[in-house]
Each structure stands twice: as structure tokens, then as C-alpha cells.
Amino acid sequence: HSQVKNKIDWPNFMAQHDLIWEEIPLQWNEGAFTGNGQVGMMIYANMDDNRIDFHMGRQDVTDHRKAPNRKTSMGVKGAGLYDFSRLDIGRMVLRPVGKIQSASIRQDLWNAEVRGTIYTDLGEITFVAYTPYDRMLNIVEISSTEKKENIKVDYKSGWIPGNPISPRVLSKNSEKVNANYPLNPRPLITEGNDVSTCVQSLLAGGDYATVWAEKQLQSKKNESILYVAIANEIPAAGVSVKVATQTVKEAKPLNINEVKKTHRNWWHQYYKKSFISMPDVRMESFYWIQMYKMATCSRADGPALDLMGPFFKNTSWPGLWWNLNVQLTYWPFNTSNHLDIAENFIDLIDTHFEYMIENRSGKNLGDFAWATHNYWLYFKYKGDDEAIQNKWVPKAIEILKRYETKMIRNADNKIELTHMESPEYKGFKGFSNTNYNLAILRWVLNALIDSNKRFNTHAKDIVKWKNTLNDLIDYPVDENGLMIGSNQPVDMLSLIHISEPTRQDTRSRMPSCA
């Protein structure tokens, strides 16, 4: 009892877990980041061009090539990743007059801000960057002490639009792919005294837009505030720029301290729902960094979290991935008391269930079945048994029907599974009786039985489900324990030539929420 403390000095407690850069970040996977679950930015330097990049992102900016009347063609029959791929929005760049030499940057978790000082041969440029949770824009406050011949000199900011092409095309770099992939139009940039705009039209119709404005502070020289709003009103055309412009114009006149106060209050309440402490400070820091990351990447009214969140990067995986990524990403939301910002996953399954079950009923059925475990788990943590009965049970029955098409009886009258995948193991190769699928199938059957006992439904089916459980083959094992499947050990060294080079996994993901 004497060890329990409920008076927490939150600013100091969280400060010990801040991310700190003593060397300047030079690329996406080294950058500092802010976000509100829909829009965000990744911050790093381009030393060759002597600039700091604030790489902007918005999570629902995707192509919609097979669905001209919708925001995305995901879920449309015949549509593939090239049709609904994430698209690069662009970056706001800060250009000092002097040559960048080094930097010190701190990711303030408690206030959800990035504070940095850029050291040049002419002085220092400091910035504070954040993404207000209640506004679809990024804000960067900038101050400079740079001088040349003892006279203050002005830094410059500018916009570099992103290439509106599926990054999967860029990463594959295949002439055949490029020949079959007509390019979206070039962006239209308009510079103005009040606001500047970048409108990106798409072949499928509609457009998304970025609008920015720089507010010079009258009280002090060499200080300004950058406002960068991103709107996506696809499939409508000509609307996004109006929405983004309105977002900037509403924010610009406001007292910046009031904007920050509202922003910080949201984050402070968010963290207080998840307090734990650990004797291992390194693991404790990891936990709180993940808590920060989760809310930068997910919000209830936003899209389901993909591999990048609002932090765009050119990658071969520019979207949702179902073979373990979305499943692992959503586990922490339940245990950390943040079901509210995981609602987008429930919407994803509800909206696209028919599409997913139709397209993931082959060797990869286990991936989607596992995703529905997250769906079930969400309602289990919520204590909503009626939702499990009314929403999850019908989906689980459909998945079970797909598993039944892969069941065969062996000579001992035991049920075996035909060749199916085990994710991230030897590509897309299938193995008989994969433990991955046997475990998921057993869970589906047991969860269906438990769910229907309370509501006294599907009585005849319960008998059948119990018989299936009883007749399922045991998990394949060898001297090392569980195998991948029958006749397939986990150990691959005995299966490949010792001199054969192994391919490293070079996929680029957002900093993992798992």
C-alpha cells in the first residue's frame, strides 16, 4: 500500500522519456514526427540542399483509379494496390542562409511537440513543430539569429510537391509496370500574398490540396509561424483547396498560445488514461513513445492505420498489410485504454468484410481470420457481448465456412488442413497443417461456442463445432517444439545451402505501433 502513488508530476515524468537527437536526422527513418491521427509530418535534413524538410502527410490521401465516385477504390472488385495506393503530398522546406552544421532536437512527448535548434555558420534557427489535434494542419514556429556582416538575414521557406505516383511503381522500377500505369497530372501551384496553394488532380477525378501561409510576427524580427493545411475532398473537384484555405484562415488569426493550450490539453488527458511505470526505464520509455506514436497515427474519425500512418515514405508497401502488420499494430490500443481511437479498425472490417473474405479465402485465409480476432478483442475489452454476438459471430461463421473447404479427413479420420500460408515465412509458399491456421481455427471454434452459450443461439451448430474441435489434428511438433506445418520445421538452416546469401527484409514501414 505504501508503494502506491497517485500524485504524478506528469511533465517531469514524461520528460525523462523524450526522444533526443544529438546528431541531425538525415532521412525518414531517423526523423522526429508529429501527427493527429490523420495529418502529420516527419522532420529531417537534406544536407546536400542545405535545408530542413517538414515532410507532410495525410493518411487518407490515396489514389482511387477503380472508383471514380469514391475516395478510395479499396474494396472494389478488380482493384489492386496500384489502384488505391498512398500518394506523396510533399514537403515544406526551411532554408537557412548559412550552411547547416549540426542540430539538437527534442521530441516533447507530454506536449506532443518537436523542438529543435539548427546550428549554421551564421547563427541559429530554432523551431517548434506540432499538429493540433483539432485541426487538419501542421504548425511550425520559427526564429532565427542568423547574421551576415553583423546584419540579420532572413531564412526562407518553400514548398516541394510530392510525386503523385504509387511508390510501389517507383520501387519496382519496372518498364512493364510503368507502361501500364498512366501518370496523374502534375500539381498546380499558386503563390499568393495571403495563402499559397498546391492542388493535385487525379486521373480518376477529384483532387487533394495543400495550402500554406507564413505569419510574420510584428513584435520581433526574424520570427514567423508557418501554417500548412492538407485537405482531401475526393471525389469532389475544386473543393479541397477551399477546405484547406479555410483551415489556414481560421487558425492564422488565433493566439498561438491558445492553439497550443487546446492541443496540449488533449494530449495530457490522453496520456492520463494509460499510466503505468516500470522498474526498467528503457522499457518504460519504449512504452510511452508507443503511446505517443499511437495517437499521432490513429483517430476515431480517420482511416484505419496502415504501414505509414501520416508519415509518407516511398516504399513497396504503401497501404494496409494484412499478414501481421494491421493485427499487431492494433493490440496496444486495447490494453492501454484507448479503444476510442481504434474505432477506425472496426469500421474497416465492417465496411470491407465482404471484399476481404472474398479476396482472402485462399492460402492466406488465416491472415484475415486473425484480423477478426482483433475485431473480437475490441468488443471483449469494451465488455460488449451483444456486439460480439450480433457483429462478430456472423463474420466468424463465414470465415469458418472458408476453413471447411480446406479440411480433409486422414486415414485416422482426423481433420487436416490443406496447404496454407504461415505469414512472413518463405514468401507465399503453402504448407499442410500450418500451426498458424490450426491455432486460429481452434480459436474461432472455441470463441463461437463460448459466444453462443450465453445467448442460446446456434444450438445445432455448437454440436458441430465441438465435433470439429475434437477431430482436428494435433499441432505438428518436432524435437524443437512447434513446427511451421507438417514436414516443415521452423529451422531453415537445414533447408538452405550455407553459402547461399539470405535476402534481408528491406521493406520500409512507419515506425511500428507494435
Instruction: Please write the tens of the pLDDT for every residue from 101-120.
Output: 999 999 999 999 999 999 99
Residue pLDDT, tens place only, 192-220: 989 999 999 999 999 999 999 999 987 66
Residue 506 confidence (pLDDT) above 80: no
Q: Which of 75-89, 97-111, 478-492, 496-510 has the highest mean pLDDT?
A: 97-111
- pLDDT band with cut points at 50, 70 and 90 for residue 455: confident
Confidence band for 171, pLDDT divided at 50, 70 and 90: confident
C-alpha span between 288 and 270 (Å, rounded) = 12
Please, which pLDDT band fits residue 170 given cuts at 50, 70 and 90? confident
Tell me the average pLDDT of the chain: 92
Integer angstrom CA distances of residue 390 from 90, 273, 381, 387, 450: 43, 29, 16, 5, 14
Q: Which residue has the higher pLDDT, 219 or 297?
A: 297
By the 8 A CB rule, do 206 and 233 touch?
yes
What is the per-residue pLDDT for 447? Answer: 96
Query: DSSP character for 130?
Result: E
Contact (CB, 8 A) for 399 and 358: no
Question: Using an 8 Å Cβ cutoff, are 31 and 52 in contact?
Answer: no
Phi/psi for 195 (5° steps) reads -140, 155
427 vs 165: which has the higher pLDDT: 165
**pLDDT bucket at 403, cuts 50 / 70 / 90:** very high
Length of the chain: 514
Nearest 5°: CA angle at 39, between 37 and 43? 110
Asked if residue 56 lies in contact with residue 92, where contact means CB atoms within 8 angstroms, the answer is yes
| Adjacency order of strands within the sheet including 156-161 | 32-35, 39-46, 51-58, 90-95, 156-161
The residue among 179 and 349 whose pLDDT is bigger is 349
Angstrom CA distances, 198 to 23, 26, 36, 245, 270, stand at 32, 26, 22, 11, 33
Asked if 330 contacts 376 with a C-beta cutoff of 8 angstroms, the reply is no
Of 470, 69, 19, 41, the residue nearest 296 (C-alpha): 41
Q: Characterize the bridge pairing of strands 156-161 and 90-95.
A: antiparallel
Residue 230 near residue 58, CB atoms below 8 Å: yes
Number of CB atoms found within 10 A of residue 514's CB: 14
Residue 322 C-alpha cell reads as 494484412
Judged against a pLDDT cut of 50, whether residue 498 lies above it is answered with: no
Cell of 473: 489434428
The predicted pLDDT at position 511 comes to 38
- Give the Cα separation of 379 and 387 in Å (integer): 7
Residues 6+ apart with CB under 8 A from 257: none
Amino acid at 469: L
| Residue-level pLDDT at 1 | 54
Give whole-number Cα distances, 130 to 115, 209, 256, in Å: 9, 20, 12
Q: How confident is the model at residue 222 (pLDDT cuts 50, 70, 90)?
A: confident
pLDDT on residue 502: 40
For residue 101, give the 3-state DSSP assignment. strand
Tell whether the model's pLDDT for residue 497 goes beyond 60: no
- pLDDT above 70 covers what percent of the chain? 93
Summarize the confidence of residues 358-369 as an average pLDDT.
Answer: 93
Residue 456's pLDDT band, with cuts at 50, 70 and 90, is: confident
pTM of the model: 0.91
Backbone φ, ψ for residue 272 (5° rounding): -65, -15
Compute the average pLDDT of residues 16-40: 96
77-102: pLDDT as tens digits: 889 888 999 999 999 999 999 999 99
Looking up cell 469514391, which residue turns up?
70
The answer, yes or no, to whether residue 331 has pLDDT greater than 50, is: yes
Q: How far apart are CA 84 and CA 68, in angstroms?
A: 11
Whether the predicted pLDDT of 443 surpasses 90? yes
The stretch 324-344 carries a mean pLDDT of: 96
pLDDT of 66 > 60? The answer is yes
Confidence of residue 5 (pLDDT cuts 50, 70, 90): low
pLDDT of 156: 94
User: DSSP letters along 151-205, please?
Assistant: EE---EEEEEE---S-HHHHHH--HHHHHTSPPPPPPEEE--SS-EEEEEE-TTS
Helix (H) or strand (E) holding 327: helix 325-329
Confidence of residue 58 (pLDDT cuts 50, 70, 90): very high
Nearest residue to 404 (alpha-carbon basis) of 372, 361, 368: 361
Q: Are 40 and 301 in contact (CB under 8 A)?
A: no
